[in-house]
Structure 1
Amino acid sequence: MLDFRHMFTPHKLILPLMCVLALSIVSAQPAAASNSDASSIAAMLGSADAGERTMGLTALRRCGQAALPGLLSGLSAPDAAVRRGAVYGLALQPSPALAMDALLEALGDPDPTVRFVAAQTLARMGGQAAPAVAEKLSSPEDRVRVAASLCLTRMGHDAVPALSELLRHDNPSIQAKAAWLLGAMGSDAKPAVPALIRALGTTDMRLVHVIAESLDLIGPDPALVFRQMTLLGSEGVNQPFSRLGAAAAPTLVRLLARPGTPMGQMALYTLARMGRLAEPALRSVLATGTDGQKAAAALLLTGIDPDLARTLPKDLRRSLSGALHQN
């Protein structure tokens, strides 16, 4: 869905820059920066000449946080090399979070190296930056969405709350991006499982498949999945837990379109446990569902009403007979 592999191409200046900085840091108090020093640091850091880059690092160390205004100004320079130097400098600031707004804007920079370093720097801020970065997933510009996706992926579990909140968005495309990123995190995204299951309530089958696939990748505890599935559609309903389930059945029936997958199997199990509470939704899908949904619904319904098997279409009876024989 989102491909940000091209952003991993390391710029030839990044590694030498970081190495030189590590060797040059000393425990000295930073001196105040003059306006001319601060405005030239970005140009030196982005230079193709190693000597100038070393001079830029020395100036950055001397100026410390006082270099921030000049670096921020460099981010809007017409020369891509200067913008690269500016974002390098911001990444190496004592408190890069002071430049968070500028780094968020840099996620849309025309230069891929600027976007990459901005994304990496924001990722280091973790949950502090995650909500603002997550909002960028709704940008109309593909390069911004890709850079934001890279950033959120690098944040790992720190991005889970912000992505979980996006699952409530009214745009299915944005919901799908959030779900996909959570799935890519694997088990780190387990705290998002309840939000993902609630998001299954959509009637958009493409979104259902993305969310279900993400849950399969995360691999949550089956007991948690069962409980959350049973609670689907019950928000705001004040009833004992044992009576819940009927509102969840239409959503679970949609998951029967994913036979053989973990979430498809959990939906089948949950519907079987519901028994007659699931009957209306199961009967409905016999007429409108996919072949997989119809076969699973028929199997469940015969457990509720064995006489139903005689009224099923011939091809469905054959499929049901095969399933019963295998079991």
Structure 2
Amino acid sequence: MLDLRHPFLVRRLLPVLLFTLAATLVPGPVRASDPDARSVAAQLGSADAGQRAVGLSALRQVGQAALPGLLKALSDTSAEVRRGAVLGLALQPSPALALDGLLEALGDPDPAVRFLAARTLARLGGLAAPDVARLLASPKNNVRVAAALALSRMGPDAVPALAETLRRDDPPVQAKAALILESMGQNARPAVPALIRALETDDMRLVHVLAETLDLIGPDPALVFRQMTLLGSAGANQPFSRLGAAAAPTLVRLLARPGTPMAQMALYTLARMGRQAEPALRAALATGTEGQRAAAALLLTGIDPDLAHSLPEDLRRSLGGALHLN
């Protein structure tokens, strides 16, 4: 071991030590071979396979340090650069750090950029889903379409965010969320309670979309029945007899879709409610659609058999066999 207490060694080694210390404190020059993020993005977005390979190699060399430059490249005037920037962000070790930039890219004027951003956000799953779902309410159609694409590609990871979206009082946005859930089939079953709750709307177009989604998801009938009885009630533990009147108006709306699974469940639930459903059924008998009036008449005669003889003539004829009228 060197003994630095020796004067001769100190005089010989001091210049070397000082030079080494200075070299560590002074930043070294940027090597000419270090690529900047815009150049990497331009290469990644190139139509030439060779250029893309060069860009990929350069990105691997820079690593996560390229993130700020790639985010800046998202606003470049060149669509090719913006495409490459999204690709570069997707290949980052932690692409979630670029979440805000990727959300902005869903509104890019270039459809390829929007598609690439949607695909990258889809890979982030539940982390990005709430922010993406909020974009279903964007005033820009391109943004809404790109957001829907991202959510669809997320699959089950997007279900909680879409279920939360159904709580909005915004029928177009609720309908979009329902259609995305519909495309997921049975994977969307955790959203069934939210879909049923969303039926509490006066917008019949939304009712049809929600009911069709539920029909195609195919939830357990017992779950549907339980959730239906809770319609119109803020509490989940109230006695059944106190819930019928509140739930009935919503269930009557479903009767406008005769023969469908949700309409059959509504019919069954209303029948179980009995007199609790009578006010809503009488209202449907007077002003409802043909399907609603027929179902309401059938249910009302089960509650009050004497009502059969006071039904309008058209209903008496159409339900004659079912009601055994003379």
TM-score (norm 1): 0.86
Q: Which runs of 5+ in 2 are unaligned?
A: 1-29
Matched, 1:99 2:106: no
Partner AA of 2:179 in structure 1: W
Deviation digits for residues 117-144 of structure 1 (CA, Å, limit 9, x no counterpart) = 1101101111100000001101111111
Structure 1 212/33 Cα, relative in aligned 2: closer, same or farther at 3 Å?
A: farther
Matched, 1:311 2:321: no
Partner AA of 1:97 in structure 2: A
8 A Cα contact 2:96 2:124, kept in partner: yes
Structure 1 150/32 Cα, relative in aligned 2: closer, same or farther at 3 Å?
A: farther
8 A Cα contact 1:42 1:74, kept in partner: yes
Structure 1 35/219 Cα, relative in aligned 2: closer, same or farther at 3 Å?
A: same
Q: How many residues align?
A: 295
8 A Cα contact 2:241 2:273, kept in partner: no
Structure 1 138/34 Cα, relative in aligned 2: closer, same or farther at 3 Å?
A: farther
Deviation digits for residues 216-238 of structure 1 (CA, Å, limit 9, x no counterpart) = 11110000000110111121386
Q: Which residue of 1 aligns with 2:84?
A: 85
Matched, 1:321 2:317: no
Structure 1 238/230 Cα, relative in aligned 2: closer, same or farther at 3 Å?
A: closer
Q: Which residue of 2 aligns with 1:12?
A: none
Q: What is the distance in 1 between the residues matched to 2:301 and 2:254?
A: 19
Structure 1 32/273 Cα, relative in aligned 2: closer, same or farther at 3 Å?
A: farther
Partner AA of 2:319 in structure 1: L
- How big is the shift at 1:243? 3.9
Q: Which residue of 2 aligns with 1:4?
A: none
Which residues of 2 match residues 180-219 of structure 1 at below 5 A?
A: 180-219=179-218
Structure 1 196/186 Cα, relative in aligned 2: closer, same or farther at 3 Å?
A: same
Q: What is the distance in 2 between the residues matched to 1:227 and 1:32?
A: 68
Structure 1 237/83 Cα, relative in aligned 2: closer, same or farther at 3 Å?
A: closer
Which residues of 2 match residues 269-308 of structure 1 at below 5 A?
A: 269-308=268-307
Structure 1 237/223 Cα, relative in aligned 2: closer, same or farther at 3 Å?
A: closer
8 A Cα contact 2:107 2:142, kept in partner: yes
Larger Rg: 2
Q: What is the distance in 1 between the residues matched to 2:36 and 2:312?
A: 82
Q: What is the distance in 2 between the residues matched to 1:33 and 1:202?
A: 64
Q: What is the distance in 2 between the residues matched to 1:92 and 1:140?
A: 30
**Runs of 4 or more consecutive aligned structure 1 residues displaced over 3 Å after TM superposition:** 31-36, 236-239, 322-325
Partner AA of 1:225 in structure 2: V
Matched, 1:46 2:45: yes
Q: What is the distance in 1 between the residues matched to 2:187 and 2:32?
A: 43
- How big is the shift at 1:38? 2.3
Deviation digits for residues 142-172 of structure 1 (CA, Å, limit 9, x no counterpart) = 1110000000001111111111111111211
Which residues of 2 match residues 16-31 of structure 1 at below 5 A?
A: none
Structure 1 33/105 Cα, relative in aligned 2: closer, same or farther at 3 Å?
A: farther
Deviation digits for residues 167-200 of structure 1 (CA, Å, limit 9, x no counterpart) = 1112111111111111121111101111111111
Structure 1 320/142 Cα, relative in aligned 2: closer, same or farther at 3 Å?
A: same
8 A Cα contact 1:245 1:277, kept in partner: yes
8 A Cα contact 2:241 2:276, kept in partner: no
Which residues of 2 match residues 1-327 of structure 1 at below 5 A?
A: 36-236=35-235, 239-324=238-323
- How big is the shift at 1:37? 2.4
Partner AA of 1:258 in structure 2: R
- How big is the shift at 1:204? 1.1
Partner AA of 2:79 in structure 1: A
Q: What is the distance in 2 between the residues matched to 1:277 and 1:116?
A: 51
Cα RMSD for the two superposed structures: 1.8
| Structure possessing the higher relative contact order (Cα contacts under 8 Å, 6 or more residues apart) | 1
SS at match of 2:298: helix
- How big is the shift at 1:207? 0.9
Q: Which residue of 1 aligns with 2:10?
A: none
Q: Which residue of 1 aligns with 2:22?
A: none
8 A Cα contact 1:41 1:70, kept in partner: no
8 A Cα contact 1:253 1:281, kept in partner: yes
TM-score (norm 2): 0.87
SS at match of 1:103: helix
Q: Percent identity?
A: 77
Partner AA of 2:287 in structure 1: T
Structure 1 138/313 Cα, relative in aligned 2: closer, same or farther at 3 Å?
A: same
